[in-house]
A and B are shown apart, each in its own frame.
Chain A
């Protein structure tokens, strides 16, 4: 991977890394206030944003907004397998080793998140659900995985990958 350029301009609105950290801060506030339903939703966003920050740092070319593009680079018809939510995002990364240009580096950092499959029962649609239907007992697993994601981002930041 070549080194990232200095201060890109103009600044695109999507920045997954600070978004991941912001969601974490807010999730912890909600968790401490026992607002578990939305805390749980945010822990999922932490992981989603953290992983997307990593794959872009590992060579996935972002669109003009700074996000994962709508379609795969080699085909305008096929939807980009990384422009999805959890838990599909994690399974698509595991299923297709060609998705990330610098797969070796991505693997190294994903190894810092051994609990990433804790989100198997997390859904983006939970935001529409009745509170008593949510798998809220999973929140501790989600929280643990979100913390690993943040530690991974801290490591990548020190290493100059982010």
Chain B
């Protein structure tokens, strides 16, 4: 069935790379056509004929009661690698957001990166309970429905695994944006500010630390200081207008804005207030950053001031550009310390810099888009971006970062990233370091 349609489709759908090649080979013609429309170019079949979708009845309006992306977008998916797991076991692993396809600053929930320590738990919301106890006047246990009765707030906040970029400490390894920086996403999160609940429960003055514990097989637990808890920590049940996805801790996770995603405990079960830190496994044996001194930074909370150019990148190269084309360099900047104030761009590997423009919403602890209009010259470039924020942190060079913490820290890597663009417009992951 639909044989004619299939033929049409296979003829008109070429891979992006093929398309670029074709376009490049007829670039002179294309350039001429701008001046004299249609003078030299063959007529486009896609214009000359009605498409199948215009000459037949489409699907019923609600044929997908819960919608999916176009099936043509099937390659826009999270990806993982055996390197991100133990022995290739994908229960304690991480999958990366396809940042090269990310539009704006909200990551679709289904593309939000996922880190699990004992698989994705599937929690029955009817059996869900949250207990808050310890150094509070009035301990409490809540069902999901009771929790959602608390007044809610919604905030756009990025979520980043502190291992983001960890494969790159000793040099470049992956040749894709997705694997260089994909352990992060940004969503609008909805839930209750924890302080709102604590105001009712009565936090005792000797409470200095909070244990957050998950209900999954790994019983993920972490200790947070009270100051943060009372500032902006939330208990969230909503993501991008709907319930959290299972992979993000359905039905409830902790949200510590700007801090390690690992602290934003998923499948949240219990919050206990105490006067001492707990030394949980994921804040001692892991999620501590070993420095060249032989000692490790612990309780390393806030994600660093950071940025990356998302276009061009190895997945979205400039191979279709001609000399003289005006093209947008686009990227993402973020900081767990506060709000991005600006981003600088270098074309020569960090010797000279110009200021990029920020665009869209500029929010604390959220992805911020930056843009720079560039006249393509077809010459090799070492493209870099460098962000700075309102806490006065400036993104370091690879050398500046490793001078202080060495190359074995695993976590919180935020050195300036470099894309090498060659004369053909191909983009490769490199590092400028010594």
Q: Do A and B come from one complex?
A: no
